[in-house]
């Protein structure tokens, strides 16, 4: 941590800063220059972050040096983390191809979608039973009945499943049915919820918040990891921006950016990022080329009758065409796509 | 709702759209032009919003006309809503002056701060017992012990109190001690939490999310209102932007923007918006000039030792100077500042 | 400037950084800590900024300490700069009330608008003769004929005038007719244009770019100042954001933010910031309460027939009502509004 | 164009809107509904856009339907535009691989860089002779001497060249030496400059502004096209955002987004977008996978001594490794990379 003092600090001000640092059991290094005096403090930055040194009279800026996350960092765990969910590996060269409808709407339709995405090459089935909707008057999901249907579809077609959990009180229930617990963008900083899924032993799919920095995303992963659950998959799904022709702005640079700092797998959701079926396939391919550990694509057999987010879903034919392009690309960049069958469970 | 078709639609496409509208029991108006065909549907837009018409083949855009919120709208309730909390009115010309530390740290320090802000003119006391912190390693609040201290300080100095609730499971507890339940920016779209505070009969202070539009904010208020709790105070507290010299970007235009559409009171939090004590007073005054129903200011007797957000707190002397400027401005624009004593309880 | 090295730097890497600093005639201070080594360089930061030290192998980050602008800074000129344009002072407690149409459309209409805004209390007349339009097919301004009309209206009603210059080749022409040269938001980083207006001796009204930080704005002012023209008025006019119900997002905190760092006057343009007549008056009042040195408001007698930006203009009656509210507020905060008559020219 | 009236419009208001439309020689279609009245106007929207109908009393919103650009649109020119610059085709399946230093610093260094990037597979050489620098005190480019060196390097190594033009007065000069005229992000809405390069017959590389929407970018292309120059290459180079770990946020979805609406080629600049050499290769590959018509990469033999933007440049070895990955990817997606030699001039 580096403390920059305002121009012409008094001796009393300097003394006061040095004292506060000493109170914390740390050793300061002072450098007096012509136009500025700076104080370097190298040591347990975690301890200093709790101290609002910026509020001290005469301090102009406090510049942190160390990263504020630990368990999520590459320094802590140098190799890529590889998760294995019912035989499907994610990370370290293995791609998660997550597909399915936004919301679970009924057994017949989910089974049909599951069969189609499995045939096209998806290896994980998604579907929401609890839906975060902007309007209280919109369809809010089927709840436990939906989870039961999702589990049945996963079993029937040999795919592990992922479903969103929105409320700490739902964690036990969703944990009973789904193979991966999803934290949605709106809940990325719902810290009590992060702690609760951190106490399970299920993989957590953590989506980036709509205005979260990459550092914020890693700090939220740290909440889950710090509870003892080391199975976190990050998901870039676009952030809010001024561009009004797409739903969000997909920040693909987050993929290599995360990989440089963290061992956690990161996948990309081009469906929520763009909100436009005409852009989804290009962005899914770009994600794989950028090094993502998978994609998350909404697929619906009849988008115009979907109860949630229909306009951004691919139809199964479009998804199959995307997979036909994605497979050779994955091979070119040395990635494999596991299926339940392809790996000994 | 207006449905714009792509250029040169086929008769079958047009027919299909008209059928879907008819299935919903509504009547379409079709206009065929040289370069585009549009279909107007005027009726129960709520019903149509649930239908992803945009996903229909041949549809270019679906443009909503009606606002998606109802109970929060001026059309529903034309006069300004005025809340009364232990004799302190908020809205309709009455200002909430909310002040206090970011986090409740102990009894002695909270009592000292409460006494100072009350003397300077604050009429509501704030303090966090549950703190949403970016890092799991930061101070997370005193919990119930903090709430007990807050209630005692409010009783002692004659101020209603406000404290944040982060988890649906905390609502009953916070409701027992605090006079106003705060929903923080990170939880503005934590819909289960919104419903839970909507089931209490306590006023709710709802802060705008970091990348929420004004419409999103009003939709979140609608969640609370739709559960039967009509006491919602909105709070503009800055949004994320590219400007890196302030913590957030304060969107003061949200104040008249909300007031044109909604009857709910809206206050401004210049502390979180700017993160800089040198900017807080100017922004608090600007908020009142813009028509805000109050301000929310963090005050701490020793910011450099605060356990949370110290650098953005005013010291009591700064807060008193701000109030000396704010009072004549409030008078000029015809606003009153109630205190527990000034109104018969 | 502080150079933070990556974890575990080699001796060769450290040596290399120290050599580069020495080559520049500066003295480094090295601090080796448990987890990081940092090198502080205090001296002529201007010299170092030209050196891309961040590209050196082993360097993690280079953190500047000093501000990159000089002539625009409070350190360079401690007192508020006060400009005087035909007897109208701007800055140091004197407000510029700039009003007029977006574009000059003809003599009769400009004279009518000028008479009305003058009567209501405006002290500077605005009008565009060269218009930056997003579409090449939109009205582009009357050019020299427009400038002639503007000058005549200013003379007739006793108001100095301001008009935009978009092209270095227009500077001589606009300089011949207008009293203040406006640089629009889209040209804030048109550096050749900045230099060209810097070579005149006319005041420059420099508008903040749509995604410019406060520092960027001050750097652009530095371009003008460094050519010898010390008369710069800054203008906050909103920045691009995700909020879709206003044209831009007005960043009023830029006002005290600039004032803390710079001696230059700063005014606010609520017309372009909001694009909505229903929000303009509240934002103009908030600007004055925040400490702005004036406002810039578009006024048109018939917005629905305006050739440019009609929907964001106030009609003269609305502007007069705004001035009736603004005058007592200005008095309360100790500001005066000069007119050509009120000050000896 | 659709005009939505406010609730309960008076007959006089409706009549007034209909009259204004009739004055423009167009025919309105009125639809009266329970809660709203809307008026559809289908015809020459270009004409209506000049009319600020939104300012009419009783009008709530005016929703455009048609796109405001014409020459840039796919409707105007259905097939991909393919440019040919000294034998190097760009667009329609042919990739531009543009590489070189940010600024031209001298003959020896530019020749060395040119030789290295050519050997690695670049087919167009870049280098700035006029540099838009945030600070007036930074290196501003070598001017004509730089252009002369660039031309010599292009001739020597068989590569067409691209260089930025910042000022309408420089167009003639840059046109004399460079094969492609670059408009930088800061000048994307410098309309006089756009018109000036539109009057040349040289290809124009138009970079997206830092807060420009995709529509804004296409409107700026329209300025160039409307002057008769049909050779425009668009360039996505990242936009401003709240993410503070990258220089800008690369919006790769702009690639398929542009391609759906326009026939113009679009390339991607991962150097300015990320500002980080560790992220550039992944983003360059992602760009090709997303369908971009090329990439624009800064390369310098000694980034730490570069006079401009050194920290974001790749060294030649890194660029060569990137090309080794990019070539098979281009082949997989059916793209070719021309060189001066490979195509008959």
Q: Measured between CA atoms, how close is C285 to chain B, in angstroms?
A: 6
pLDDT reported for residue C51: 62
pLDDT per position as a tens digit, A10-26: 888 888 888 888 887 77
What is the per-residue burial (b if ≥16 Cβ within 10 Å, else e) of D36-48? bbbbbbbbebeeb
pLDDT reported for residue C142: 95
Please tell me which residue of chain D has the smallest CA distance to A216: D243
pLDDT reported for residue C345: 39
Give the least confident one: A95-109, B143-157, B330-344, D251-265.
B330-344
Which residues touch B8 (CB under 8 Å, ≥6 apart)? none
> What does the block give as tokens for C136?
């090449």
List the alpha helices (DSSP H) in chain C: 11-23, 45-49, 107-120, 144-157, 171-177, 191-198, 214-226, 254-261, 270-274, 280-289, 316-332
Please tell me which residue of chain B has the smallest CA distance to A189: B186
C291/B289 Cβ within 8 A: no
pLDDT reported for residue C344: 44
DSSP strand pairing (B28-32 vs B37-41): antiparallel
Q: What is the CA radius of gyration of chain D?
A: 23
Q: Measured between CA atoms, how close is D201 to chain A, in angstroms?
A: 31
B40/D34 Cβ within 8 A: no
Name which of D285, D282, D319 is nearest D300 in CA terms: D319
Chain C neighbors (3+ CB pairs < 8 Å)? A, B, D
Name which of D293, D285, D232 is nearest D267 in CA terms: D293
D46/C137 Cβ within 8 A: yes
Bridge partners, C191 (sequence order): none
Name which of D44, D269, D282 is nearest A258 in CA terms: D282
> What does the block give as tokens for D199?
């009057």
Residue B228: is it exposed, middle or buried by C-beta count within 10 angstroms (0-12/13-18/19+)?
Answer: exposed
pLDDT per position as a tens digit, D177-219: 999 999 999 999 999 999 999 999 999 999 999 999 999 999 9
Q: Measured between CB atoms, which of B40, B43, B61 is closest to D34?
A: B43
DSSP strand pairing (A59-63 vs A2-5): antiparallel
Q: What is the CA radius of gyration of chain B?
A: 23
Q: Residue by residue, what is the 3-state secondary structure of chain A?
A: CEEEECCCCCHHHHHHHHHHHHHCCCCEEEEECCCCEEEEECCCHHHHHCCCHHHCCCEEEEECCCCCCCCCECCCCCCCCCEEECCEEEECCECEEEEECCECCCHHHHHHHHHHHHHHCCCEEECECCCCCCCCCCCCCCCHHHHHHHHHHHHHHCCCEEEECCCHHHHHHHHHHCCEEEECHHHCCCHHHHHHHHCCCCCEEEECCCCCCHHHHHHHHHHHHHCCCCCEEEEECCECCCCCCCCCECCCCHHHHHHHHECCCEEECHHHHHCCCCCHHHHHHHHHHCCCCEEEEEECCCHHHCCCCHHHCECHHHHHHHHHHHHHHHHHCCCECCCHHHCCC
Instruction: Please tell me the distance from the alpha carbon of residue B252 to that of residue B267, in angstroms, as a whole number.
Output: 10
pTM score, whole prediction: 0.93
Which residues touch A118 (CB under 8 Å, ≥6 apart)? A125, A157, A158, A159
Please tell me which residue of chain B has the smallest CA distance to C332: B329
Instruction: Please tell me the distance from the alpha carbon of residue B344 to that of residue C3, in angstroms, as a whole number.
Output: 62
Please give the domain boundaries of chain A with CATH numbers for all domains.
Answer: 2-63 (3.30.70.1140), 83-332 (3.20.20.70)
| SS3 assignment, position C60 | strand
Q: Measured between CB atoms, which of C69, C167, C311 is closest to D192?
A: C167
C29/A31 Cβ within 8 A: yes
Please tell me which residue of chain D has the smallest CA distance to A258: D279
pLDDT reported for residue D21: 81
- pLDDT at residue A226 above 70? yes
CA atoms within a 13 Å half-sphere pointing along the CA-CB vector of B16: 15
User: Which is more confident, C22 or C296?
Assistant: C296
> What does the block give as tokens for A323?
């997979």
Q: Measured between CB atoms, which of B34, B38, B45 is closest to D2?
A: B38
Interface A–D counts its CB contacts (< 8 A) at: 111
CA atoms within a 13 Å half-sphere pointing along the CA-CB vector of C172: 1
Q: Measured between CA atoms, how close is B66 to chain D, in angstroms?
A: 8
Instruction: Please tell me the distance from the alpha carbon of residue D131 to that of residue D126, in angstroms, as a whole number.
Output: 13
Mutate to test the interface with B, among A13, A19, A191, A317 (most CBs of B within 10 A): A191
- pLDDT < 70 positions in chain B: 33-35, 42-51, 65-66, 341-345
% of chain C beyond a pLDDT of 90: 71
Residues recorded for chain A: 345
pLDDT reported for residue B18: 87
The backbone region for C238, taken as left when phi is positive above 0, alpha when psi lies in -120 to 50, beta otherwise, is: left
pLDDT reported for residue B34: 64
Measured from the Cβ of residue D201, the count of other Cβ atoms closer than 10 Å reads 10
Please tell me which residue of chain C has the smallest CA distance to B287: C286
Please tell me which residue of chain D has the smallest CA distance to A270: D253
Q: Measured between CA atoms, how close is B25 to chain D, in angstroms?
A: 14
- pLDDT at residue A42 above 70? no
B50/A307 Cβ within 8 A: yes
pLDDT per position as a tens digit, A270-300: 999 999 999 999 999 999 999 999 999 999 9
Chain B neighbors (3+ CB pairs < 8 Å)? A, C, D
A240/B55 Cβ within 8 A: no
Please tell me which residue of chain A has the smallest CA distance to D282: A290
| SS3 assignment, position B32 | strand
User: Which is more confident, C74 or D26?
Assistant: C74
E strand segments, D208-303? 232-236, 266-268, 294-298
Angle CA D187–D294–A214, to nearest 5: 75
A166/B168 Cβ within 8 A: no
Which residues touch B300 (CB under 8 Å, ≥6 apart)? B101, B102, B113, B306, B310, B313, B314, B315
Task: List residues of chain C with CB under 8 Å from any CB of chain B.
Answer: 211, 213-215, 239, 241-246, 249-253, 255-257, 260, 273-274, 278-279, 282-283, 285-291, 328-329, 332
Written as one string, the DSSP assignment of C116-147 is HHHHHT--EEE-BSS---SSTTS----THHHH
% of chain A beyond a pLDDT of 70: 94
B1 contacts in chain D (CB < 8 Å): none
DSSP strand pairing (C28-32 vs C37-41): antiparallel
Mutate to test the interface with A, among D63, D259, D290 (most CBs of A within 10 A): D290
DSSP C305: G
Q: Measured between CA atoms, how close is A345 to chain C, in angstroms?
A: 40
C132 contacts in chain D (CB < 8 Å): 189, 191
């Amino acid at each position: 941590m580096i403390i920059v003092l305002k121009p012409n600090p008094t001796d009393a001000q300097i003394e006061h800063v040095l004292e506060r640092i000493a109170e914390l059991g740390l050793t300061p290094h002072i450098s007096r220059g012509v136009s500025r005096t700076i104080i370097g403090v190298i040591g347990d930055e975690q301890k200093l972050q709790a101290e609002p040194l910026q509020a001290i009279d005469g301090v102009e800026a406090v510049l942190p040096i160390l990263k504020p996350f630990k368990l999520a960092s590459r320094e802590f765990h140098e190799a890529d983390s590889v998760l294995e969910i019912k035989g499907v590996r994610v990370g370290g060269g293995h791609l998660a191809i997550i597909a399915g409808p936004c919301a679970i709407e009924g057994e017949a339709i989910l089974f049909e979608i599951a069969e189609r995405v499995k045939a096209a090459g998806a290896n994980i089935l998604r579907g929401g039973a609890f839906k975060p909707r902007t309007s209280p008057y919109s369809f809010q999901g089927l709840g436990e009945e939906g989870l039961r249907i999702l589990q049945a579809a996963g079993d029937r077609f040999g795919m592990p499943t992922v479903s969103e959990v929105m409320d700490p009180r739902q964690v036990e229930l969703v944990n009973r049915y789904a193979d991966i617990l999803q934290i949605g963008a709106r809940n990325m900083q719902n810290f009590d919820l992060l702690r609760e899924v951190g106490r399970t032993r299920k993989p957590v799919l953590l989506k980036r918040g709509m205005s979260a920095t990459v550092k914020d995303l890693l700090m939220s992963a740290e909440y889950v990891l710090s509870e003892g659950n080391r199975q976190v998959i990050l998901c870039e799904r676009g952030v809010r921006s001024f561009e009004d022709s797409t739903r969000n702005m997909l920040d693909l640079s987050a993929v290599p950016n995360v990989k440089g700092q963290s061992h956690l797998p990161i996948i990309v959701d081009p469906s929520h990022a763009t909100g436009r079926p005409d852009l989804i396939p290009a962005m899914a391919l770009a994600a794989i080329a950028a090094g993502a550990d998978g994609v998350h694509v909404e697929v619906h057999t009849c988008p115009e009758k979907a109860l949630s987010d229909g306009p951004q879903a691919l139809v199964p034919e479009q998804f199959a065409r995307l997979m036909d392009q994605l497979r050779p690309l994955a091979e070119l960049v040395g990635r494999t796509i596991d299926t339940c069958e392809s790996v000994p469970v």
